Amino acid sequence: MGQMVLIFNEDGTVYKETRGFKGKACTKKTQFIEEALGIAGNKTFKTEYHEPEDQKETLRQ
Amino acid sequence: MSHFVNIKTTIKDGNALVAALKRMGFKENEIEVSVNKAKDLYDYMGRLQGKQANVIIRQAALKRMFDYPTNDSGFRLVNGTFEAVMDDGYLRHVPKWMEKLTQFYGVEKAKAELTRKRIAYVEDLTDKNCPRLLINNI
């Protein structure tokens, strides 16, 4: 389970930040909100994004 | 002199649009919704100008929010997306009206989507007074 923060700016843009995900899980699990909002903006990925998803599972065990 | 202007938007969800308009300060009975058949818009002199919309705010309600003589305003459903049909003079006099609506639409649409997926959220404001949604378990 991860966290997502959405901030709706005065100019109509939306800032999305995710926490607690590794790899592409953040994109997979939160993409529905982008699709609902019709967002297609700039994205900046944290270093966790580039870590393999299964690494998280291994570390948890 | 006021003119109607059509403004493209990314608004697709009529319920979220109505919720956003309420958040802008309009009362429920000031928002006319006619999804199946667009209704006429009138200018500030009560004349028809050939403009129609599916979600309408009449000039009295707009004037209550900002005291400026204005045409009716509304949102016309075109190929699944709502196009704003607004009074250009009103938009010039009310700072960032469309931006504010877009901001509130985003919040309401996101909340509707989270509710639909049964995902809990908390809403608050940032220090810049922007709406923020916090989702802890996703």
- φ, ψ at B3 (rounded to 5°): -130, 155
pLDDT at B86 over 80: yes
Round to whole Å and give the CA distance between A8 and A51: 28
Identity of the residue in B109, B110, B130 whose CB atom sits nearest the CB atom of A9: B130
CB contact under 8 A, A3 and B102: no
> Which pTM was predicted?
0.86
ipTM for the assembly: 0.84
Identity of the residue in A29, A32, A38 whose CB atom sits nearest the CB atom of B10: A38
Q: What is the pLDDT of residue A44?
A: 61
Region A46-61: mean pLDDT is 45
CB contact under 8 A, A10 and B128: yes
Round to whole Å and give the CA distance between A48 and B110: 25
Partners of A5 on chain B (C-beta within 8 Å) are 132-135
Region B11-30: mean pLDDT is 96
- Banded model confidence at residue B128, pLDDT cuts 50, 70, 90: very high
Sheet holding B122-125, edge to edge: A14-19, A3-8, B131-135, B122-125
| E strands, A20-56, in order | none
- C-alpha angle with apex B69: B68 to B73, nearest 5 degrees? 95
Region B121-138: mean pLDDT is 95
3-state secondary structure string across B22-73: HHCCCCHHHEEECCCCCEEEECCCCCEEEEEECEEECHHHHHHHCCCCCCCE
Region B102-121: mean pLDDT is 95
Q: What is the pLDDT of residue B67?
A: 87
